[in-house]
Structure 1
Amino acid sequence: MDERVEAAVDYISLLPEHILHHILSFLPIKQIAKTSALSKTWCQAWNAFQILEFDFNAIFSGNRNLYRYPDLENNRQKLYDTVEQILLRRRRQMITLTKFTVIVPAVYQRPEVVSTMDRWICHALGSHVKDLKIAVGPSGNEEEYSYSLPQPVFNAISIQVLDLDNCKLKLHPGGDIKLPSLKKLSLTTVFADDIVVSKLLAGCPLIEDLNFIWCFGFKTLQILDHHANLLKLRVERLEHLEQIKLEAHNLRSLELHGPSWPSRLEVVSLKNLTSLIISKAPITDKWLNEQLNKFAHLENLICLVALC
C-alpha cells in the first residue's frame, strides 16, 4: 500500500500582513525579531512592522550574561547598531512608524549614547512617527542629568502623541515650536523654562490631553482659550511653579496634585468642566466654593485636602 505523506501547511503564514502585524503587536521586541526566522512571510511582516518599542532596561536586565564586563560595551554597541539599522531600513522603505518607544538607563556623562539616541529619533521622524515616547534615567530632577531633546522634534509635523520622561527641552536661539498634529503631550520629570513652555503650548493648536508631572524649571503655566480642543489637563508637583492661569472653555477634566503648589491659582473660565480632582493642595473652603459656583456641568469631584 502506498504511503502518502502530506506536507504540513503553515496556515498562519498565509494570513494577511495586517493580521500578522496585529499578532506581533502583542509580543516584546526581542520575540518579534525572532519571528523573522520562521518564514519569508514573517520576515517581510517584521521588516514592515510599524511599532518599534525598545526597553533597554528590560533588555539589559534580562540578558545579564551578554551585558557584563569585559564584553559590556562591545555587546551594547552591537545592540545599538542593530536598532539603528532597523530604523534606517524603515526610513529607506518609506514605512510610516505608528509608534516608536525608547527607554534607556541614565545617559549622564555618556555622550556616545546621547548621539546614538539623537540619530534614532531623527530616523523615526524621517519615518513620520505618530507616537513618540522617550524615557531616560532615572537620574533625579537636575537639569544637567537630563537628556536634551533633539531640535527636530520641536517641529515634527507627524507626531500626534509625545511622551517624555527625564528629558530637557531647550531651544536654539530664535527657535520656535510647531507641532501641528500633536493631540496628547505627557511630560514627566522634564526641565523647561518659561519661554519653552509658552512656545510649546502656543505651537500645539490641536492639543486635547496635557500632562505635567514632576516637571521643573518654569514658573508660569497659562492654559488660555485658544486651546479650543483641550479636554484634559493634569498638573502634578511642579516644583518651581508660582502661577497657574486657566482659561479653557472646553476643558472637561482637570487634575491638580501637590504637595508643591503655586502661590497664585487663577481660574478664569472652565464653564464646561465635568471632572475635578484636587489633592494635597493648600486651599480653603471659601476658595473651593467660589470655584464650584463656576462649574455648572461638574459631575465628578474628588478633593483630598485637609481643609476641604
Structure 2
Amino acid sequence: MADILPECLIQTILCFLSYKEASKMSILSKTWLQASSTLPGLEFCLHSVKCNIKIVDTIMERYRDGKVPIKKFELSESNSYGHKVLPPIPIDNCLDIALQNGVKHLVLDRISYPTPILTILAAKSLRKLVLAYYTLSLASSVVNQNSLRKLSLSHVELNKNMRQTILNSCPLIDTFISENRIGLETAYLQKIKSVYLKVLKIWYRKGILEIDAQNLVSFEYTGKQIPESKIARQLEHSKISLYSLDNINADWFCKLRKFLSKSPASWSQVSIRFEEFTEIKMCYRIVGATTQVDVLEVNVLFQYMECSSFVDALLWSCPPRRLNLQLKLNMFTAFSDRLMYMKNSTTHGTIRP
C-alpha cells in the first residue's frame, strides 16, 4: 500500500517535514527510501560540540555523485556552550555541492565559518539568499548576479556602502530585507537605489536618508528618522510601517506628512507604533499636500491620559479613511473623546479625523 503513490507526490509530502523526520519515513518502502534520499530541500543544524559536519558532508556528497537537484539548502549552527568561543565549523564542502547542484534558495544562519560570499553571489541558479547573524565582507569589486530576486540580511554587520554595493551587483532583486540588532553602529545607510525593487524592509535604529525605487510596492522601516523618498508614480498597493523608538515631537509629524505627500497619492496602509511621547506643540504650517491613507494603524505602548495634541498631529500628518487602534484602556478613552470632539466641532479648521 505504501507504494501506490508516485515518487513526486511522496516528495511533496516529505517536504512538509524536517529532513530528520523525512528520513524516518524511508522505512516504509523502497519508493519512500528513494524519495527521502533525493529530497530537493535540505535543512541541517551543525552542533559545535558534536561536530556533525562529517554526516552533513556524507549526505551532500551523495547528492553530488547522484547529481540530485537541490532547490533549498538551509544550514544553521548551534553552540551548546553558550557564549564560549569554539572553533568555526568548516562548511566549504557542503556549500560548494549545494551551489554546484543548482540551489535556488540558500539560508545560512549563525554560521561562524568565514563563508565565501563572492562564490555564493557567482551562483547562476540562486534566486533567494537569506543570511542571519553573519559577518559579511566584500572585495572592492563584486561579481554581477543577475538571477537573485530575494535577499534577506538579518543581524548582518554592514558598513554604510555595502548594501548599495550588493544591490548594484544584483540589479534584479525585487525583495530586500535588512534587519540589524540595536547598537550595531556600522548599520547606517545613506541611500537605497534600485529600479526593480518592489518590497523593502529595513529595521534598525539609524535611518535611511533616501530611497530611490520607482517600482516600490511595500515598505517597512524602523528607526529614528523618517526617510526621504523618490517614489514618483501612483502605486496599486503601498504600505509603510514606522516604529518610533524615541520620544516624538512636532518635527517628526511634519517629516511624516512630507514623506507621505512626496510618495503615492494615497497609501493602502500606514502602521505606526509609538513607545513614548510628550505634549506635542504643533505649528500647522503647510508641509506638503494632504495624503489620504486607506487604513491607519496606531499602536501606543504606554498609558497617557492627555493626548489631544497627539491626535491632532497624527490626523494632520496622515488623515485616514479607517482607523485601527491598539491602546491601553485609559489611552483609548482619551483618544476616542478627542475624535468625538473633532467630529462635533465646527471651528476645528483643517484638522479632521
TM bin (shorter chain):
0.7 to 0.9
Where does the alignment leave 5 or more consecutive residues of structure 2 unmatched?
278-309, 315-353
1:167 CA drift (Å): 0.6
Gaps of 5+ in 1: 1-10, 61-71, 138-145
* 1:50 alignment counterpart: 40
Cα deviation for residue 17 of structure 1 reads 1.1
- Between the two proteins, what is the percent identity of the paired residues? 26
CA distance in 1 between counterparts of 2:158 and 2:115 reads: 11
Shift of 1:109: 4.4
Residue type at the aligned position of 2:197: L
Q: Aligned with 1:234: secondary structure?
A: strand
**What does the per-residue CA deviation read over 1:105-125, in whole Å, with 9 as the maximum and x for residues that have no partner?**
249844451x1x232212111
Residue 218 of structure 2 corresponds to which residue in structure 1? 253
Does residue 96 of structure 2 align to residue 122 of structure 1?
yes
What are the equivalent positions in structure 2 for 1:200-279 lying under 5 Å apart?
200-214=166-180, 216=184, 217-224=186-193, 227-238=194-205, 241=206, 243-258=208-223, 261=224, 265-269=227-231, 271=233, 272=235, 274-279=238-243
Structure 2 Cα separation of the partners of residues 270 and 253 of structure 1 = 14
Q: Is the 8 A contact 1:147 1:167 kept in 2?
A: no
TM-score of the aligned structures, taking structure 1 as reference length: 0.76
Paired with 1:171 and 1:207, the residues of 2 have a C-alpha distance of 18
Q: Tell me by how many angstroms 1:192 deviates.
A: 2.1
Structure 1 residue ranges (4+ consecutive) displaced by more than 6 angstroms after TM superposition: none
Per mean C-alpha deviation after superposition, the further-off stretch among 185-194 and 30-39 is: 30-39
CA distance in 2, matches of 1:126, 1:179: 16
Residue 218 of structure 1 and its aligned partner are, at CA, apart by 4.2
* AA matched with 1:274: S
Partner-residue secondary structure (3-state), 2:102 = coil
Match of 2:62 in 1: 89
TM-score computed with the length of structure 2 as normaliser = 0.67
Task: Say which SS state the counterpart of residue 189 (structure 1) adopts.
Answer: strand
1:39 and 2:1 equivalent? no
Instruction: Give the number of the structure with larger relative contact order, counting CA–CA contacts within 8 Å between residues 6 or more apart.
Output: 1
Distance verdict in 2 for CA 1:37–1:175, change over 3 Å = farther
Supply the distance in 2 between the matched residues of 1:80 and 1:193 (Cα, whole angstroms).
31
How far residue 21 of structure 1 moved from its aligned partner, in angstroms, is 0.3
Given residue 39 of structure 1, which amino acid in structure 2 is its aligned partner? S
1:158 equivalent among 98, 101, 125: 125
For residues 219-242 of structure 1, give each alpha carbon's deviation from its aligned partner in whole angstroms, at most 9, with x where no partner exists.
Answer: 324222xx232111111115xx46
CA contact under 8 A between 1:157 and 1:178: conserved in structure 2?
no
SS of equivalent residue, structure 1 residue 15: coil
Number of matched residues?
Answer: 263
Establish whether residue 280 from structure 1 lines up as the match of residue 244 from structure 2.
Answer: yes
Which moved further from structure 2: 295-304 or 158-167? 295-304
Matched residue SS, 2:106: strand
